[in-house]
Structure 1
Amino acid sequence: MTPDRHRAVLVLTSTYDVTTDVVLRILADRRIPVVRTDPGADLPGGASLTTHYATGEQRGAPRTPSRVLDLADVRSVWVRRPSPYAAPPGMVEHDAKFTSAQAFWGFGGILASLPGAHYVNHPWRIRDAEYKPAQLATAARNGFLVPETVITADPHEARQFCAHQPCGAVYKPLWDSRYRDAEGTAHQVWVRGVDPIEITEAVSVCPHLFQSKVSKEFDARVTAVGDRLFGVRIDSPDLDWRHRQDLMTCTPVAVPEPVARSVAAYLGEFDLVYGAFDFAVTASGDWYFLECNPNGQWAWQPSETTDAIAHALADQLEKGPDA
């Protein structure tokens, strides 16, 4: 195996992910070797990945047009924003579905099982932590304040719940699925207020998440990298600040110690290194947990916060298994 100083960081992300470049420049300045690839797009497009297994042995190497990397020489894997695994163009639908599934379970399984590598975050841990019901249950177990929430496909239950919330109720999608209308136009589904009389029998076709509206003074984002926390206050005219980010303002904010303890416990339960936590903060200083994105964006924050997060991520990737 290559000496630790020369072991590479493997970055799995799409070609168009400019956020990654911020961290890669730091690693370049530190002379840490980096191999960047997008397995979902590159492997059908000319790259290759072969791995051999035997008793007490695993060896293999991904090959890109410019690099060959011994998998045993990977110190860290940064699972940023890789593309979904896809079949080569031109395949008929049933062949394409089979091929992309085999790539997901085969190539995806190899890259999630590198010996001695440190993952930020491990792809299976990302998947586990993306379920909204798991987030809410884990948050409640670990000391966060959690708004009263119901997940249901029963219109009567939904109407009853929303009608009994003193500050009103909001609807949130359980997954960030783009909605396409009858003309095929994609629409983002934002968090929005719900009047009980709006709830129709259409709710019965799938689960819906309804939540008590927090009477908030501001929103907060806490970005966690290992045991380092970076908090920003978000002031926005919108219920969902993501809707019109050009109208929001962000300023650094201290993270209360009880919240910091709950963040650490939450990350530990999901075995995460990184997490982007969103909170609604009341005028009395109560921080209500809304969600945690285990692979959330962070480079939109104030420059000093973005720079600090980038250096914290670079530290994790450089340290590897010792992080």
Structure 2
Amino acid sequence: MKLSVTHETRYTYGSAVIQAHHVAYLKPVDNVMQRLHAFDLQISPAPSIQTWSVDRYGQQRCYFELTDAHEELVVVAHSVLTTQAMPEALRGKFPAVRLPEGLPWQEAALAMQYEAGQAFDDAREYTQPSALAPVQDVFRDYALQSCVPAQAQTAHQLAAQLCRRIYEEFDYQPQATDVSTPPLHALRMKAGVCQDFAQVMIASLRSLGLAAKYVSGYLLTEPPPGQPRLIGADASHAWVSVYCPQDGWMEFDPTNNCLAGETHVRLAYGRDYGDVAPLRGVIRGGGTHELDVAVTVMPQE
């Protein structure tokens, strides 16, 4: 599916910002799941310094610095890319999806434990706790409730069950959390947004010893029948990539109870939201501020 994505971020400050340093993860990754054809990043006011670098995971990020006083910052990223179609057996919502038969999740967890002389597997990093996806007994207990006692579940089958439970048990409430909300708080409330759902799922899987990544991106949504597509009405999205040594990585969307497919656009992968926030920075001045984000994902001919 060929898609066009426009992501506009606008900060309006209560007083002048004297100096600002920002890092943006707004360029979609180019990998086996999608091909990036074009990308353009417009920043206003124009930065005095703007450089691109590659992070520890091989993804491109933009650093820019503003040294002139300004009361508004507008960052617009435009991308055109083609996403990869999924095999027919993997389309749809759970539990109808037929997942590959891999290792039982307990064996997958054992394989993630380091032993002397083992070949290096970089997936092991994603079994470790991070600031917004900790390893704790409360998450382990929540994940174990998704296990079928009489059945040898694979890592991906367990992830699918956990994905469905979060979808069914959590309420989507945009005002209930913010970007710094710990996943334990979201778990106790059973509420939040896609970022919270993803980080609860990641923390639960890691607490079992499994490897799980945070995926930052977008989702193509369809307008109601007969209605035009609204410009800027979409939002950033987040989901989870889960690893099995035998079958590799597979991406689960607990907000929608499905595998991430051709309607999902991948911006970046990290341990949690803190690694791959679309735009963050440090400013001098500014006072209070207002933030407006408008995202448009549209299919291309």
| TM-score normalized with structure 1 length | 0.24
Higher share of residues assigned strand: 2
Higher share of residues assigned helix: 1
Bigger relative contact order (CA 8 A; separation at least 6):
2
| TM-score normalized with structure 2 length | 0.25
